[in-house]
Amino acid sequence: MTPADPLAPGEYAPEVTYLNTASHGLLPARGRAVLETVQAGWSSGRTVPNSYDDLVPELRAGFARLLTGATAADIAIGGTVAGLIGRVAAALPAGAEVLVAEGEFASVSNPFRFRGDLAVRAAPLERLAVEVRPETALIAVSLTQSADGRTVDPAALRAAAHAHGARLLLDATQAAGWLPLRFADADYWVCATFKWLLGARSVSLLAVRPEAAEGAVPLGAGWYAGADRWGDMYRFGPLAATANRLDDTPDWGGVTASIAGLDLVHELGVAAIGAHDRSLAAAFRRGLAELGVDAVPGDSPIVTVPGGEGYAEALAADNVVASVRGGGLRVSFHLYNTAADVERALAALASAGPVATPVRPGR
């Protein structure tokens, strides 16, 4: 059985078959409404964007609820995942080794690669835990891989890291919202809100374990990182004592939209969303197998057909929105999708016929 209905029908009425959450989640109706309110107040002069600054603690708390064991004081806000990871990269000593996965998304690896004086080493995703060595200072990896949906075991990675005195940074951008997360499973968690959390592209979050706080520095600290940000705008004041010292000045409109998305995720529940999304992905994988199309195996809502780039045109012609990554067709399912979406995508692929001989590189 696959879900016949979306989980939040009152929030969505997509005009296409949207199977592309791994690129960008759809804004729920409540998010659109709050953004329209913000923009109306801004354009009329009755409010300014920072009129919504009192909502930032609510956003921190909402993200902390997704990370079992975290608190709002552990959460910093920024604009991009790479920018927040830069706080961790800047704290590493010259020559430190950073272990990343082969084929990792660039926003995770680039902050370390382009610092210029770190030893960045890549290993196959499935071997990361055994590739940790005494000189490894940090493992940085996406919990769920952007390219193909493969998901690592965070507890196993954390154990391997700590056995060698290393720390672990997990990018949860492709996992938060459908996969339960435990704060204790990594030293640093980073996440963009615009995918599975249904928020704004301008808002990302960084959670820092208190015992690893010295491993993240307030790179480019601005007024918003201050202990008394409004009072110390024009005088030398201290930075915040919590993870808030790592903050960027937020996009307040984006904050309101991201809170709306998080609220919807919490209302439905991560477990229910995960079961819904994975059920649809499993049905799609079964359908691909019946068509003789090879997909990367796994149990995430992201399904990738290696070498299947040519299928994208057939899907687009039938108003099915997917994406192409690394030469592979990537399809992703979320709470607004249904079994009918699976059937429509499979029908479009069947009508296209064989367009490639998929090869699963490295596997």
Distance, in Å, from the CA atom of 67 to the CA atom of 98, rounded to the nearest integer, reads 24
| 175-179 mean pLDDT | 98
pLDDT band at 230 (very low <50, low <70, confident <90, very high): very high
Quote the distance between the C-alpha of residue 247 and its chain's center: 18
State the span(s) of the chain assigned CATH 3.40.640.10: 30-267
Q: What tokens appear for 339 in the block?
A: 């079994």
Quick: pLDDT tens for 37-91.
999 999 999 998 889 999 999 999 999 999 999 999 999 999 999 999 999 999 9
Tell me the pTM: 0.95
Quick one: DSSP state of residue 334? -
Q: Under CATH, which architecture does the 30-267 domain have?
A: 3-Layer(aba) Sandwich (3.40)
**9-27+269-352, what's its fold?**
Aspartate Aminotransferase, domain 1 (3.90.1150)
Supply the pLDDT for residue 359: 39
Considering the chain, tell me which residue range(s) the CATH 3.90.1150.10 domain(s) occupy.
9-27+269-352
Contact indicator for 329, 312 with CB cutoff of 8 Å: yes
Write out the two tokens for 326. Answer: 């690394």
355 falls in which pLDDT band (50, 70, 90)?
low
